[in-house]
Amino acid sequence: MKMSDLVAQYISRMLDESDGNAEIQRNELANLLGCVPSQINYVITSRFTPEQGYIVESRRGGGGYIRITRVTADRRVAVMHIVNSIGEHISSSAAQTILSNMAEQNMISHNDHILISSALSDKAYKNISQVQRDTLRASIMKNMLITLILLDDRS
């Protein structure tokens, strides 16, 4: 297992054990896990992002810390946050990462994940230029996620 996976697991465990809030001393955690402090930064900036449902605050200095909070918004608010974060274009890999995180957090069903992933794959847009592909993918992804919310409202 990679060091970044171990760091992410440790932080996730901290969040689970403390109702979704963890305060981390970067240097202390690096010493505890036997890695460099920059590894902690990398994991936090790549795996604990707002798109993945986290708020990260940091304070520098001798008593500095990094505070990570798992956002527990209702599904509708969380999905709309994701829709608003997509922007005008999105790559296939970025779309797949967002969908995987949504499925992992039970924001979308397994079947919805597979269906939307298929509709957003590069294979579906093979005859379109890359720039147009990413723009079209963003538009379709936003519309599909909004439709899921609208379908929930009808239930």
Q: Dump pLDDT digits (tens) for 80-137.
A: 888 988 989 999 999 998 899 888 878 899 999 999 999 999 999 999 998 899 999 9
Residue 66 reports pLDDT greater than 80: yes
Where are the chain's structural domains?
A: 3-70, 75-154
Task: Evaluate if pTM is beyond 0.75.
Answer: no
Contacts of 24 (CB under 8 A, 6+ apart): 11, 14, 40, 65, 66, 67, 68
Strand order in 54-59's β-sheet? 21-24, 65-70, 54-59
Residue 72 reports pLDDT greater than 70: no
Contacts of 30 (CB under 8 A, 6+ apart): 36, 37, 39, 40
The neighbour count for residue 74, using CB atoms within 10 Å, is 7
**Domain 3-70, CATH homologous superfamily name and number:** Transcriptional regulator CtsR, winged HTH domain (3.30.56.130)
The backbone torsions φ and ψ at residue 129, rounded to the nearest 5 degrees and listed phi first, read: -60, 155
- Tens-place pLDDT, residues 1-36: 788 899 999 999 999 999 889 999 888 999 999 999
Q: State the pLDDT at residue 73.
A: 65
Q: State the pLDDT at residue 63.
A: 60
